[in-house]
Amino acid sequence: MRVADAVGRGLAGLGVTTAFGVVGSGNFHVTNALVAGGARFIAARHEGGATVMADAWARTTGSVGVVTLHQGPGLTNAMTGIAEAAKSRTPLLVLAAEAPEVRSNFHVDVAGLAAAVGAVAERLYSPASALADAQRAYATALGRRTVVLALPLNVQAGQHQPIPGEPGPVPAPARMFPPAPAAEAVTALAGLLREARRPVFVAGRGARGQRAELERLADACGALLATSAVAKGLFRGSPWNLDVSGGFASPLAAELISEADVIVGWGCSLNMWTMRHGKLIGPQATLVQVDDDPAAIGAHRPVHLGVPGDVAQTARAVADALGAEGRQGGRGGETGSVRGKKSAGYRSAELRERIAAEVRWRDVAYADESDGERIDPRTLSIVLDDLLPAERTVAVDSGNFMGYPSMYLSVPDEAGFCFTQAFQSIGLGLATGIGAAIARPDRLAVAALGDGGALMGVSELETVARLGLPMVIVVYDDEAYGAEVHHFGPDGDPLDTVRFPPADIAAIGRGFGFEGVTVRDAGNLAAVRGWLEGPRERPLLIDAKVTSAHGSWWLEEAFRGH
């Protein structure tokens, strides 16, 4: 059997069910072999799109994403997506054909490209080792790494000689075994939470899927619950949910987090975005970080207590420690329902009411700036939040507009929000929505884009139409790179390089096979209701001409991070 076929079938045997890509001569056989082995192949129109789709699919399903690429330009086209995945620690396997001949037009330094963006470089070394090489790369990806597996054409063309009686590839476990926390660390964290009067948990990507354990501990110590942007939705429905911490936080969420006396980051880097450059950490706060990767602890800011350990196991052990003390009569003097604590922590009936009334951005009063020609992006987002079914997946591109859909569109849980923003690239939002749509066909995928990001990633509109995905794409169209306009405008600099004439993006969508709607005021959104009530045979593209008198509140924060 040809090595390319053995590797494709072998990867399918390891558990690859879905692969994305753009097929050229160098990845033709390996991709067909994946399909022959039972995997579904999704053809994208640009390798950047294919890679981001695989990344979003991996984030949404929790499984290893796979993308297959042609040699040379196939890989270089994918580099932005690979960088995003690597920075996000997405388990992603990039099958990158490689031209081994240095004089070939297609030759590039594959390992060098991978290393340059923080991905792990792997390769098929020889026909004899190829299957083991592929299996090793897959296992590395499973450990939350983005792996670029070089597939040299000469190795792919070689013959794979199965050794009679040799066992085939072993399907990888769905999860690696997570590390348990040290007993002393559990005692120390239990001690802090027992004394805490205003504890706040900030859950990050590493806490996704661990809601039950975190809520149990939060109940035991009276903590309020927040997330980083990438874990938005994790505590949906909890009366103590503050939603996202950081630049996107609503005024009440920011107030309550900055008044915390103990902040625990759970699988969360506590980076400048999540902590607003430290402004959300009050001088009185003790900072704790729990992470199964010891290298992540203290990486972004010093912490008072670092707990290397799995999020769920740590939460469970600390809750048990608090509960055990309560049962023994412990410290007594409880004023609330929390056993083993001196107080009910941060929780009170009054605060619960305040959170219910004020914590959502859509409950924060604003002056609607819609003028009949252009709709206020807040109004647009609130109307869409009301119209779109609750079972949705929201994907967001980068730009000035990005906080509106992130903060005004609610999501059913953490899998309902896909935020490919670790590299802060524009143009990834559409492909993110496609990957998430394929991962969760039971939910309506909504991709929220700026006009700049929409036109940068435009080739994948064809993929949406061709696959018949019933997606909604909403473009916050200010006819500009609004982020730059609002950042540099106040200095009086010329802005011609970042402004564009009006584009009929609804017509562009119709050209690709979408139903296209131009929205200038809330009344035009009736067309969205019509689409939702109809058969949804064609995807919907909303070109919303938005007001842009001033920049958004998180933009200033973002530019501080440059």
Ligand X SMILES: Cc1ncc(C[n+]2csc(CCOP(=O)(O)OP(=O)(O)O)c2C)c(N)n1
Residues that bind ligand X (CB under 6 A): 398-401, 424-427, 450-453, 476, 478, 480-484
Q: What b/e sequence results for 279-311 when a residue is b if at least 16 CB atoms lie within 10 Å of its CB, and e otherwise?
A: ebbeeebbbbbbbbeeebbeebbebebbbbbbb
d(CA 17, CA 174): 13
Least separation, in Å, of the C-beta of 483 and ligand X?
4
The residue among 229 and 449 lying less far from Mg ion, judged by its C-beta, is: 449
How near is the Cβ of 425 to ligand X at its closest, in Å? Answer: 4
In terms of CB distance, is 66 or 483 closer to ligand X? 483
DSSP run (H or E) holding 69:
strand 65-69
Q: Are 461 and 467 in contact (CB under 8 A)?
A: no
Asked if 513 and 465 count as a contact pair (C-beta separation under 8 A), the reply is yes
The amino acid at 67: V
Summarize the chain as % helix, strand, coil (round to 5).
Answer: 45, 15, 40
| 353 three-class SS | helix
Task: Select the binding partner of residue 381 from Mg ion, ligand X, none (C-beta < 5 to 8 A, by kind).
Answer: none
73 or 412: CB nearest ligand X: 73
425 binds, among ligand X, Mg ion, none (CB under 5 to 8 A by kind): ligand X
* Minimum gap (Å) between residue 500 Cβ and Mg ion: 8
With CB under 5 to 8 Å by kind, the binding choice for 483 among ligand X, Mg ion, none is ligand X
Q: Which does 24 bind (CB under 5 to 8 A by kind): ligand X, Mg ion, none?
A: none
CA–CA separation, 268 and 274 (whole Å): 9
Quickly count helices (H) and strands (E) in the chain.
21, 18
Cα angle at 233 between 231 and 237, to 5 degrees?
A: 145
Residues that bind Mg ion (CB under 5 A): 450-452, 478, 480, 482
Q: Among residues 31 and 552, whose Cβ is nearest to ligand X?
A: 552
Q: How far is the CB of 452 from Mg ion (least distance, A)?
A: 5
Closer Cβ to Mg ion, 343 or 425, answer by number: 425
Smallest separation, CB 481 to Mg ion (Å): 6
List of residues 6+ apart from 201 with CB closer than 8 A: 214, 217, 218, 223, 224, 225, 226, 263, 264, 266
Tokens of 352: 């619960």
Smallest gap, in angstroms, from Cβ of residue 475 to Mg ion?
8
Minimal distance in Å, beta carbon 110 to Mg ion? 35
Give the 3-state secondary structure of residue 510: helix
Tokens 């600390």 — which residue? 318
Q: Which residue is nearest to Mg ion (CB)?
A: 450
Q: How far is the CB of 450 from ligand X (least distance, A)?
A: 2
247 binds, among ligand X, Mg ion, none (CB under 5 to 8 A by kind): none
Nearer to ligand X, 5 or 478 (CB): 478
Instruction: Specify the residue, 48 or 482, whose C-beta has the smaller distance to Mg ion.
Output: 482
Choose the contact partner of 427 out of Mg ion, ligand X, none; CB within 5 to 8 A by kind: ligand X
- Closest to Mg ion by CB, 91 or 452: 452
CB under 5 to 8 A by kind: which of ligand X, Mg ion, none does 375 bind? none
- Partner interacting with residue 408 (select from Mg ion, ligand X, none; CB below 5-8 Å by kind): none
Residues 6+ apart with CB under 8 A from 55: 65, 81, 84, 85, 88, 90, 92, 420, 432, 435
Give the whole-angstrom CA distance, residue 482 versus residue 509: 22
Residue 292 binding result from Mg ion, ligand X, none, given CB thresholds of 5 to 8 Å by partner type: none
Q: Which of ligand X, Mg ion, none does residue 206 bind (CB under 5 to 8 Å by kind)? A: none
Nearest CA among 225, 227, 243, 228 for reference residue 273: 228
Residue 309 or 399: which CB sits closer to ligand X? 399
Nearer to Mg ion, 213 or 397 (CB): 397
The residue among 15, 29, 68, 71 whose CA lies nearest residue 160 is 29
CB of 505 to ligand X, least distance (A): 11
Least distance between ligand X and beta carbon 501 (Å): 13
